[in-house]
Amino acid sequence: MKKRKFGLGLSMLLAAGTILGACGSDTETSNGGEENGGGEEAAGDFTVSMVTDVGGVDDKSFNQSAWEGLQAFGAEHGLEQGTDGYNYFQSQGDADYTTNLNTAVRNDFDLIFGIGFLLQPAIEQVAQQRADSHFALVDSVAEGDNVASITFKEHEGSFLVGVAAGLQTETNKIGFIGGVESDLINKFAAGFKAGVEAVNPDATVDIQFAGDFNNASRGQQMAAAMYGSGVDIVYHAAGGTGNGVFTEAKNLKQQDPERQIFVIGVDRDQSEEGALEAGGQPYNVTLTSMIKRVDIAVQDISTRAMEGDFPGGEIIEYGIEENGIAVAQSENLTEDTLAQIETYKQQILDGEIEVPSTLQ
């Protein structure tokens, strides 16, 4: 399988953008609604869909970012939501992956995305059976000449938000909550831990896994235990489970507005999830977010497929250099922290720092 680092097309898309939803039959769509795209450039009869992981398109994280990318592609090219344009198929559990992929094939979508590494076995199975269809898998590598594999250098961005956590912790106790323990989520944890240690060797990082990407209650329970132990900053890479981390952080902030309690978001800018009011004053418990431009990757691969340049059998990798990984701007980051993030970012780009992608 070929491996390609993608740069120019992504940069062009980013220049126009900003840095900062289950189907049970062949014709049933995920939500029954349609939206008119507003783009002037028509995509002809090209159609594209995505199959979510269990978090759904409103998980405020990974799946939602992918769906926003698909919506943006539809708007840009005048497509309508539905079987004649773009759509999503929502998975309630892993048993839905193969069913939803086959439903998308039977609806004749030209390109079908599988959102998340958990869909790899289903993608490989269906792609082998449906050799005339094009698939793209986000966050893992799948075999097949009709499958494009989209990966990210999550450890690079996680290192940078680790720098932020290491610099701004007041207790020297920092937490990490991952979804399902895997090579992918370990990349987040490893990069984050390395970033913290680079600027604050006295700090400790408590790394735990929820075993679920769609259990907000579990996320809240884990966050409560961490904050209760003295942790003041928690980085989550847990999809919908991470919503519970925000809930707990906001509850604690409302109880004691003077206490430093922060969450580091993931995949998209999660500052909205951290907003609250306590004692009549506005606060935000989102320190920053590690932005992973799944939306841009979805737009890019969709555009290439529409233009006859589908990268089947290739691995397309997005990192800091390709502007596929970033750190969200935030009012909670100090000027010194922002400056140090930029310094470490440049050192990564210059090859002076090789960020670990596995836990030691």
Domain count, the chain: 2
- pLDDT for 38 beyond 90: no
Mean predicted confidence (pLDDT) in 155-178 = 98
**What does the alpha-carbon distance between residue 189 and residue 180 come to, in Å, rounded to a whole number?**
12
Give 319-342 pLDDT, tens digit per residue.
999 889 999 999 999 999 999 999
Q: Using alpha carbons only, how large is the chain's radius of gyration in Å? A: 20
Residue 224: CATH number of its domain? 3.40.50.2300
Residue at 175 is within a domain:
yes
In this structure, the answer to whether residues 89 and 100 fall within a common structural domain is yes
In this structure, the answer to whether residues 64 and 164 fall within a common structural domain is no
3-state secondary structure of 343: helix
In this structure, the answer to whether residues 253 and 300 fall within a common structural domain is no
In this structure, the answer to whether residues 135 and 17 fall within a common structural domain is yes
- pLDDT for 19 beyond 50: no
In this structure, the answer to whether residues 221 and 134 fall within a common structural domain is no
- pLDDT for 17 beyond 50: no
The DSSP code sequence of 298-323 is HHHHHHHHHTT---TTEEEEE-TTTT
pLDDT at 218: 98
Question: Helices H, strands E: what count in the chain?
Answer: 10, 15
Give 201-245 pLDDT, tens digit per residue.
999 999 999 999 999 999 999 999 999 999 999 999 999 999 999
**What does the alpha-carbon distance between residue 147 and residue 311 come to, in Å, rounded to a whole number?**
8
Residue at 360 is within a domain:
no
pLDDT at 10: 42
Residue at 226 is within a domain:
yes
- pLDDT for 75 beyond 50: yes
Over pLDDT 90: what percentage of the chain?
Answer: 83
Residue at 282 is within a domain:
yes
In this structure, the answer to whether residues 251 and 337 fall within a common structural domain is yes
User: Containing domain of residue 176, as a range?
Assistant: 154-291+330-349
Which pair of structure tokens corresponds to residue 185? 């989520």
In this structure, the answer to whether residues 210 and 100 fall within a common structural domain is no
Residue at 33 is within a domain:
yes
In this structure, the answer to whether residues 75 and 193 fall within a common structural domain is no
In this structure, the answer to whether residues 204 and 282 fall within a common structural domain is yes
pLDDT at 194: 98
Residue at 115 is within a domain:
yes
- pLDDT for 36 beyond 60: no
Give 78-122 pLDDT, tens digit per residue.
999 999 999 999 999 999 999 999 999 999 999 999 999 999 999
Is the pTM above the cut of 0.85? no
Residue at 234 is within a domain:
yes
In this structure, the answer to whether residues 107 and 210 fall within a common structural domain is no
Q: Could you tell me which residue, 155 or 279, shows the higher pLDDT? A: 155
pLDDT at 177: 98
- pLDDT for 125 beyond 70: yes
Residues 6+ apart with CB under 8 A from 228: none
In this structure, the answer to whether residues 148 and 159 fall within a common structural domain is no
In this structure, the answer to whether residues 142 and 21 fall within a common structural domain is yes
